[in-house]
Amino acid sequence: MPLLPELIAVAILQFLVIIAPGADFVVICRNSLVYSRRTGIYSALGLTLGILVHASYSLIGIGFIISRSIVLFALIKYLGAAYLIYLGYKSLIAKPRRQLEQQSRRSQASQDLSKLAAVRMGFINNILNPKVTLFFLSLFTQVINPLTPIPVQIWYGLQMGMMTFAWYTSVAIVMSHPMFKEKLLSVTHYLEKVMGAVLIALGIRVALSGVEK
């Protein structure tokens, strides 16, 4: 069977989904701007690991089971919504970085998230996103031909992971650029609150969203 048209269609669809602004984008921007480039990149790694998990269970058919189980899907949806609201709340109550420095008299590096914490944040945010679950279900049931060889289907999952990491690493690099951060230094705290409000709004939207079947 000819695979080139499918390869192109899958790549384009994946790219459009990845660059579309959403909760993942807000989290990467927040972590890169408020914390550091390192935190942004490790958060992007967490997102990538989440993508690979989604691809893995979709490949073996569990994604279909999840989408058809009202209880399982609702659990993922509400956990994801709660996590977004939690991140948003933490951003809203966060103190200005300069105030933290005055209070703790510690370096900026000591206020940064650990590598593990950054990866965990990105992973949890992605793995609990019901929209990503539905995207992979649609990809593997409606776009990818059932006769497509398994190695090629595995490549689609790896390709999505690599594209995700490349895109969000680029976002982290831009958002954490010294010139960019210097210009936004005086308003970083307010931007964090705005991002927090956006995360809470996204969480509420996820919680109230229905499931189209």
Contact 47, 126 (CB under 8 A): yes
Give the residue with greater pLDDT, 119 vs 86. Answer: 119
Contact 168, 118 (CB under 8 A): no
Show Cβ contacts of residue 143 under 8 Å, excluding neighbours closer than 6 positions.
6, 9, 10, 13
How many structural domains are present in the chain?
A: 1
CA 35 to chain centre: 17
Any domain includes 159: yes
Quickly count: other Cβ atoms within 10 Å of residue 205's Cβ.
12
Percent of the chain with pLDDT over 70: 82
Give tens-digit pLDDT for 67-114.
677 777 777 778 878 888 888 888 787 766 554 444 443 444 446 889
Give the residue with greater pLDDT, 123 vs 198. Answer: 123
Give tens-digit pLDDT for 3-59.
888 899 999 999 998 998 888 998 999 899 888 999 999 999 999 999 999 999 888
Contact 192, 91 (CB under 8 A): yes
Predicted confidence at residue 58, as pLDDT, reads 86
Average pLDDT of every residue of the chain: 82
Any domain includes 97: yes
Any domain includes 187: yes
Contact 23, 199 (CB under 8 A): yes
Predicted confidence at residue 67, as pLDDT, reads 63
Structure tokens at 39: 């935190």
User: Residue 156: which domain range?
Assistant: 4-208
